[in-house]
A and B are shown apart, each in its own frame.
Chain A
Amino acid sequence: MSNRLIDLQHITKIFDGEKILDDLNLYIRENEFLTLLGPSGCGKTTTLRIIGGFLFPDEGSVIFDGKNITQLAPNKRQLNTVFQKYALFPNMNVAENIAFGLRIKKKSKAYIDDKIKYALKLVNLDGYEKRKIDALSGGQQQRIAIARAIVNEPKVLLLDEPLGALDLKMRQDMQYELIRLKNELGITFVYVTHDQEEALTMSDTIVVMNGGYIQQIGTPEDIYNEPQNAFVADFIGDSNLLGGTMIQDRLVEILGAKFLCVDEGFGTNNPVDVVIRPEDVELVKPEVGIIKGRVTSVIFKGVHYEMTVLANNFEWLVHSTDMYPADSEVGIFVKPFNIQIMHKPESEDEKAVDINE
């Protein structure tokens, strides 16, 4: 309990009669890199803006360091935001942008100058003090936006899809930069993105959201390997999503064939959702596989081949370093611990993806 820095309790937010967030409960620990991940419209940015104070929830409360700050204005909160479009002040140069928050807090000039130097060094832009904002590239502007936020020594840094506007290479570089920054600063990062790769790379904790609900909270490994429902499985990485029947503990029927698995406690003869990652689908000789199929397409992806296999009327997605030519007969085998069994969604709200039955 003691290290819960931010606690969101029963947050509900309604826009134009539509519930964007519905009874959301979430706590964020000190020094955590927490990512809110989900498709657009899932409520992740709304959640971030409620933490930042730019939106007030219709119901529920925001507890920050033990104090209720639900109705506190953003300029009174001990956190800073890195905005999606950087939101640097174009009428000021780099140093003035970074000094903005410190000048409001009436810090001494020497202190401010030190801080500017330190922050620019931290984001690898030493000597950029006098540059104009519109003379900077997107990546540089992003770094200045981060520098401008962190000089205020916030307890929490909120980042709203900060890498969304950068190109792929820059995005990957900035991911490592952000991890390094977080480690050097030792503060809490709350990060919003729709990019599952960003989330997996950087986060301590990922919160997968959809339709205003939290779908799953867990470490990147948990989220990827043990998705709790079909939406999470589908959203994080590629996957084969199948409808199945749990015949008994550790035995599931998929597409009319029986697969051994390791899951227990789903009852007997109960409908379930099954996720199998494409890299876990093993192609073997037809007579050895659990089911037989035919390769329908092969694409070379660099590290692996991406193949689709039509077996029992389902198009399996397969990632493998071994290539089977198109039209060849193959068998499909999946190791028991690579089959992930999930409960069927209980309500329409949770049913975010269509499952191939």
Chain B
Amino acid sequence: MNSPKKTWFAFPYILWIIGFTLIPLGLVLYYAFTGADGGFTLANVLAITEPVHLKSLWTSLKMAFLTTLICFILAYPLGLVLCSLNLKKSNFIIFLFILPMWMNFLLRTMAWQLILSTNGVLNTLLGFLHLPKVHIIYTFQAVLIGMVYDFLPFMILPIYNSLSSIGDDVVEAGKDLGAGYFTILRKIIFPLSLPGVISGITMVFVPSMTSFVISNILGGSNTLLIGNIIEQEFTYNFNWNLGSGLSFVLLVFTLISMGLMSVFDKSEGGTNKW
């Protein structure tokens, strides 16, 4: 296994990790803990306690939590339905859910801007039905809709994978021992699908916590996520130090949430796949 020749294969990846993970991370840390004059300071990190930053961090957490919850509520029943279909049908439906991912992320989000805008597709449709217009664009809800739409496939795939790997035989054994459908779902299917659920939650929570593009397009200036604040610091205010300080805080929050997930995962006896 460890013949010296084969270790050469790892070389490109090591370069990749150094160039695109370690160095940028080091730079973020450097900027985060230095001031404009280059001296050490905690001010950039502690800037998170400013009300405007705290508020956007809170909005981000809320957004990420709700996005993850809605994605889970949509994806899990779908996964159960897909598993009850034959393989051909379920693969086709999975394909339909993945299809939008082949289009550009920005285009998809902009499509939602067209649908939700004041004179957009949704309100035109409501007008036809003689219903009052809704003002939804540039609100928290609009961003939430965009996030759920964009991240739903990342919840569906791992859940479907873990559900479809559960054998019919354990479900039949449950029935045989007198359990009804919901008991089987609660005591057998759900615990066995936990690894997929957890990897789905991680894959949706982390990007929706850090995203700023969706909120830029659908949230306007009303919904400032922590990602938007960081982006502004880098691109408009050119305050790389403050931007890095806030990024560092966000990174810590993300790591904590992932850590919590992995603790939960292990306590349930699932396998750690992500």
Q: Which of B60-68, B175-183, B253-261 contacts A (4 or more CB under 8 A)?
A: B175-183
- B135 to chain A minimum Cβ distance, whole angstroms, is 47
B188 near A83: Cβ-Cβ < 8 Å: no
- The A120-173 residues at the B interface (CB cut-off 8 A) are 148-149, 152
Given that A100-B179, A104-B179 are contacting pairs, would A87 and B173 also be in contact in the complex, using a CB cutoff of 8 Å? yes
A74 near B172: Cβ-Cβ < 8 Å: yes
User: Is B174 interfacial (CB 8 A cutoff)?
Assistant: yes
User: Is A313 interfacial (CB 8 A cutoff)?
Assistant: no
- The A45-90 residues at the B interface (CB cut-off 8 A) are 52-54, 73-76, 80-81, 83-85, 87-90
- B61 to chain A minimum Cβ distance, whole angstroms, is 31
B167 near A85: Cβ-Cβ < 8 Å: yes
* Complex-state Cα separation, A326 to B273, whole angstroms: 63
* Complex-state Cα separation, A152 to B174, whole angstroms: 13
* Complex-state Cα separation, A73 to B176, whole angstroms: 9
- B159 to chain A minimum Cβ distance, whole angstroms, is 16
> A-facing mask of B190-205, CB < 8 A → 1, else 0?
0110000000000000
- B270 to chain A minimum Cβ distance, whole angstroms, is 8
- A46 to chain B minimum Cβ distance, whole angstroms, is 14
Query: Contacting A80 at CB < 8 Å: which of B176, B179, B183, B188?
Result: B176
- B178 to chain A minimum Cβ distance, whole angstroms, is 5
Given that A91-B192, A91-B269, A104-B183 are contacting pairs, would A85 and B177 also be in contact in the complex, using a CB cutoff of 8 Å? no
Residue of A nearest to B169 (CB): A87
User: Is B170 interfacial (CB 8 A cutoff)?
Assistant: yes
A75 near B176: Cβ-Cβ < 8 Å: yes
Residue of A nearest to B188 (CB): A89
- A95 to chain B minimum Cβ distance, whole angstroms, is 14
Query: Contacting A87 at CB < 8 Å: which of B172, B187, B191?
Result: B172
B177 near A104: Cβ-Cβ < 8 Å: yes
Among B172, B173, B191, B269, find the residue whose CB has the most chain A CB atoms closer than 10 A: B173
> B-facing mask of A165-200, CB < 8 A → 1, else 0?
000000000000000000000000000000000000
- The B141-194 residues at the A interface (CB cut-off 8 A) are 167, 169-170, 172-180, 183, 187-188, 191-192
B178 near A89: Cβ-Cβ < 8 Å: no
Chain B residues near A53: list those with CB within 8 A: 175
Query: Contacting A74 at CB < 8 Å: which of B169, B175, B191, B268?
Result: B175
- The A80-113 residues at the B interface (CB cut-off 8 A) are 80-81, 83-85, 87-91, 100-101, 104-105
A54 near B169: Cβ-Cβ < 8 Å: no
A85 near B169: Cβ-Cβ < 8 Å: yes
Chain B residues near A87: list those with CB within 8 A: 167, 169-170, 172-173
Query: Contacting B175 at CB < 8 Å: which of A73, A84, A91?
Result: A73
B178 near A52: Cβ-Cβ < 8 Å: no
Chain B residues near A105: list those with CB within 8 A: 178
A152 near B167: Cβ-Cβ < 8 Å: no
Chain A residues near B269: list those with CB within 8 A: 91
A90 near B179: Cβ-Cβ < 8 Å: no
A83 near B177: Cβ-Cβ < 8 Å: no
Chain A residues near B173: list those with CB within 8 A: 81, 83, 87-89, 148
Chain B residues near A84: list those with CB within 8 A: 169
B169 near A83: Cβ-Cβ < 8 Å: yes
* Complex-state Cα separation, A73 to B169, whole angstroms: 16
B178 near A101: Cβ-Cβ < 8 Å: yes
* Complex-state Cα separation, A84 to B167, whole angstroms: 12
Among B172, B176, B187, B188, find the residue whose CB has the most chain A CB atoms closer than 10 A: B176
* Complex-state Cα separation, A143 to B179, whole angstroms: 21
Chain A residues near B175: list those with CB within 8 A: 53-54, 73-75
> A-facing mask of B53-73, CB < 8 A → 1, else 0?
000000000000000000000
Chain B residues near A73: list those with CB within 8 A: 175
Given that A87-B167, A87-B173, A91-B269 are contacting pairs, would A75 and B179 also be in contact in the complex, using a CB cutoff of 8 Å? yes
- A53 to chain B minimum Cβ distance, whole angstroms, is 8
* Complex-state Cα separation, A156 to B177, whole angstroms: 13
Among A52, A76, A90, A152, find the residue whose CB has the most chain B CB atoms closer than 10 A: A90
* Complex-state Cα separation, A75 to B269, whole angstroms: 27
Chain B residues near A81: list those with CB within 8 A: 172-173, 176
Chain A residues near B170: list those with CB within 8 A: 87-90
* Complex-state Cα separation, A73 to B178, whole angstroms: 9
* Complex-state Cα separation, A53 to B176, whole angstroms: 9
Chain B residues near A149: list those with CB within 8 A: 176-177
Binding site for B on A (CB under 8 A): 52-54, 73-76, 80-81, 83-85, 87-91, 100-101, 104-105, 148-149, 152
Closest 10 CB pairs of A and B: A101-B177, A87-B169, A87-B173, A91-B191, A74-B175, A104-B178, A81-B176, A75-B178, A75-B175, A87-B170
Pick 6 A–B contacts, CB within 8 A, sort by A.
Answer: A53-B175, A54-B172, A76-B178, A89-B170, A89-B188, A148-B177
Apart from A75-B178, A91-B269, A104-B178: 16 A-B pairs, beta carbons within 8 A: A74-B172, A74-B175, A75-B177, A80-B176, A87-B170, A88-B173, A89-B173, A89-B192, A90-B170, A91-B191, A100-B187, A101-B177, A105-B178, A148-B177, A149-B176, A152-B178
